Structure 1
């Protein structure tokens, strides 16, 4: 091996290790590896920046915009709820419905967006059917992953292998080329989850304290009880003569001195009580009723004594204007690693965090100092407008349950245009009348012009971490080819006596891709493995299509760990799953998809060129 071979190999290994450790942002890891290739002279500046102008990257960015428009317009929510009604009360029927719905949505939306839309729908279905969420949330996540196998745009790895064919000057896959194999894999997944899988899923969730571990997801009393905050919500009357009357919450030091959070103030009027949202400048008047959350009994007694106030109820019921809701922190959220105080939910969204659940137990004291992690659930109090803002912040938080019965989200006035543009894009992609990237970018532009987004929401709909990560990893594959490192790996595999069979080669590529996808991004995995598959096909004189299709299918089998994909982590907290739950269900399903791939892919895409 030459010096350049060693340099590229070291950079590749260091990048994979950094991905595995998951201590740094994926885009930063990929970008640093790109800089390393540039600074060591392995790549020229033009080669190093080629990924940022690649049509694949532009196409993925455009699809984020299209998917964001579908979410913003309410089309995805409506589709999820409409199909969710077909589930009935049977666990098997619910499993089939949930998996089919999530698969169909993820065939055209990102899998993370699909799960974010479907999560509250499935939780509501669980409540109605009295089924434990642990029986349906892993099927929801797995259905979204399997749905990515159905279309060209279902998941980035599909587009990566297609781009590899285009770069090699070969005929590319068509929009529905993935569908025959994908339908078989989805069918295998549904049958497995309805038979063996449902028996492997936890029958009863461990612990019963967190709302994410109960069946009543939208009942206000259960929300309060599940987070153990029932005895911390107090109702205090401010009588005439109170020393706090005529002063603001900031003036009396409600939060700083008495360690209490104000949730609402109710003022009597001729038309009945008027409930006001609290902020530091809220003015207290004689006769007002103050609703607070306090976990410090001594500070509470001091507050009542100093203010000459009256404790009306030590376990109060909040007024109907104060809505309770539950949020989940998704993976890659900007809030991961930050404390509740740092995020400042009240300033950003107008919501007060009452408690949180970290997967082990509720945290009701010193909540503001608690560091947030992926999968953590939060109980918040907010008004109706704040809940609308929260529901639109899917990249950082997912609103999964509210205190009242969920109602269908109304479609926005632009919904019909969104549907028409989407249908037009799908027709263009499936017929090939224009280049795929052209169809997607035109659709994205039309979505914006149609008014599907407001303000800068169009930029927020793009997952920039994924875009930068993909654009930065692609030159690493270029470096492997340029230095001959890829040829060395190919030669070692070709010269191996056990890998002369094309089916054995397909098996090897599937296993390697599937294993790597359990630990690092499936997109990054496919970027690295796809050139290897193409080179091996050329060296052995076999068709590259079955090998690349096998890589694409394997990249969508991130089933075995809660950190294998963002969607697994998203359902972990809501379903109360343990690491072992994914292993018990995911490993057999991966083996089943492997066998299905070995059986069906060579029939659909023969090895003979």
Structure 2
């Protein structure tokens, strides 16, 4: 027992100090428990096969799909519109929306669904994500107190009551308690988040060194005004011809920027878009959309002769194809070479859309242009080919980071698909009559987002998983096994309750809340509720009081645990995204946890008399 307590204390100290990454600290604690024989290897690795951990992995993927498809941006824009530019309004909306969802969906699922929306919302409104993400995690736990199914500890105390012959709680018996928790949470979090959670954003601090955004490049080179879209119909004369046969550059001075094909089915939910560069041998087909670049009069002349249909929307999207800038080095082998002989097209399948030379922009008659030192070339191609420019050559420097730019491009045509998958998953988790376990629903949804193309590739899906948070939770879960196995948790709970029981029901109620709250910092909230519920029941019977307020103290203590990042999965989910340290949870979460406990000590007897 003593050894387990020492390891636990050292672990907490290392978490607070922040000298080592939290996942490494958790792994060190786990390894120590195995080496000292307190846990078997099977017990130590049980966290990595836990349904909670598997759910977290799946929810990270689903959250990534919500971001990648632009669904998060759409939803966040609606919330921003409701907030009307007010930071406090934005904060309150995040709390209320999260708490409402948390009343019916697991708090882990709630945070995973809301986190990409909040991150997108913060980026659009200029608020740091750190200001909103920790309150988001706490609000999901508070929302869980609104209904019977909101959080597992609620079901635990319901079972304890029915097993001992007491009247079971109704679905909304928890609502008054949950509403008070949310009210207290807002009052405490609003000022504390302003003081402690304004973290410096690394992206902002490095803003000077970043590359230009895709929209900035389009605007700078005036691409939108020089590009038009045309649809090849069944009557078009160019249907079935190759790009080389059109000879557009010689006949009209035009160039085909890209060829796109869009397929729709199921009312627009299943939609696929393919983009490709126009190679000489590419055969044009019906329903292809060609992007022409050049003189508008020449484009009209060609369109009329070819009988192709002009489309109204001329904006440039970057799904499969992207653009970036490269600057030629002074000693590049391409200096003095005409662009047509540069080999970009042949070696990299890259188009050159424009040249910036000093302050001049050259967009017409590019093929005969000789390259000069310091020329900035605007290049277009598949993201993978653009990345190769950065990997393989020393003749130029790629400005910006193509891989990160590709990740930021939203596949907005897949947003309806992501929304349907998310809605079906939530539906399956909320309604018990659907014979699908929550972990199964999440795994299925995560897999579907990959199979239906909500990500650019499988690697992009893997990159959405925050492995530090996953390892942190998985490695800390067996700590609860060690505490129970050595009798540490039972000793703490029984001792505190025995000491406080003689001081009256109010003091005992307070003691049960804070004992449960303390244990939840190191044991899962469900396990703590299972451990403390019979103790609370027995204590209430011994002093001749109603067990209802004491059992509510158990579920509150187990659910309102905010002072540690690994106390609940939601706390861990937002840790990396918000850039939080262990100390941030203590600064904001501990006061909130304590004040809710004090408030409930006086409120619970009013709602459920002794």
> TM-score, normalised on structure 2?
0.54
Residue from 561, 580, 589 that aligns with 1:555: 561
> Are 2:20 and 1:24 aligned?
yes
Which structure 2 residues correspond to residues 420-499 of structure 1 after superposition, within 5 A? 420-428=423-431, 433-453=435-455, 454-497=457-500
* TM-fit CA distance, 1:496: 1.2
Residue 388 of structure 1 pairs with residue 406 of structure 2:
yes
State whether residues 34 and 40 of structure 2, in contact with CA within 8 Å, keep that contact through their aligned partners in structure 1.
Answer: yes
Deviates more, 1:167-176 or 1:64-73: 167-176
Higher mean displacement: 408-417 or 491-500: 408-417
Residue in 2 that maps onto 1:13: 9
Task: Give the whole-Å Cα distance in 1 for the aligned partners of 2:389 and 2:514.
Answer: 44
Q: CA deviation at 1:80?
A: 1.4
CA distance in 2, matches of 1:489, 1:549: 18
Deviation at 1:347, TM superposition (A): 6.6
Conserved 8 A contact 1:152-1:175: no
C-alpha separation between the residues in 1 aligned to 2:415 and 2:553? Answer: 44
User: Equivalent residue for 2:277?
Assistant: none
Q: Which runs of 5+ in 1 are unaligned?
A: 127-132, 224-234, 249-263, 276-283, 292-318, 323-345, 352-379, 393-407
Say if 1:474 and 1:527, in contact at 8 Å, map to a contact too.
no
Give the counterpart of 1:33 among 24, 29, 32.
Answer: 29
SS at match of 1:555: coil
**3-state SS of 1:495 partner:** helix
Q: Deviations over 1:403-440 (max 9, x none)?
A: xxxxx9665362243244234323335x5755444444
C-alpha deviation, 1:219, in angstroms? 11
Give the deviation of 1:86 after TM superposition: 1.2
Larger radius of gyration: 2
2: CA distance, partners of 1:187 / 1:321: 54
Within 1, Cα distance between the matches of 2:535 and 2:335?
77
Instruction: Report SS of the residue matched to 2:415.
Output: coil
Correspondence 1:148 to 2:238: no
**Closer, same or farther: CA 23–539 of 1 in aligned 2, 3 Å:** farther
Shift of 1:550: 1.5
| 1:273/1:554 CA distance change after superposition, 3 Å | farther
Tell me which residue corresponds to 1:361.
none
Give 1:213 deviation, angstroms: 13
- Equivalents in 2 of 1:434, 1:500: separation in Å? 47
User: Once the 2 structures are TM-superposed, how far is the Cα of residue 79 of structure 1 from its aligned partner?
Assistant: 1.3
CA distance in 2, matches of 1:33, 1:187: 37
SS of the equivalent of 1:148 reads helix
Distance in 2, matches of 1:467 and 1:169, equals 35
Question: What runs of 5+ residues in structure 2 fail to find an aligned partner?
Answer: 217-325, 337-353, 381-385, 392-397, 542-546, 566-570
Query: SS where residue 496 of structure 2 aligns?
Result: helix
The 3 A distance-change label for structure 1 pair 474 and 269 is closer
Please identify, of 54-63 and 167-176, the stretch whose mean Cα deviation from structure 2 is larger. Answer: 167-176
Contact 1:100–1:143, Cα closer than 8 Å, also in 2? no
Cα 1:137–1:418 change in 2 (3 A) is same
Residue 370 of structure 1 aligns with which residue? none
CA contact (8 A) 2:450 2:458 kept: no
* Inter-partner Cα distance in structure 2 for 1:580 and 1:467: 19
The residue correspondences of 1:306-345 to structure 2 (distance < 5 A) are: none
**d(CA) in 1 for partners of 2:157, 2:443:** 20
**Closer, same or farther: CA 501–48 of 1 in aligned 2, 3 Å:** farther
Deviations 1:330-383 (A, max 9, x none): xxxxxxxxxxxxxxxx979979xxxxxxxxxxxxxxxxxxxxxxxxxxxx9637
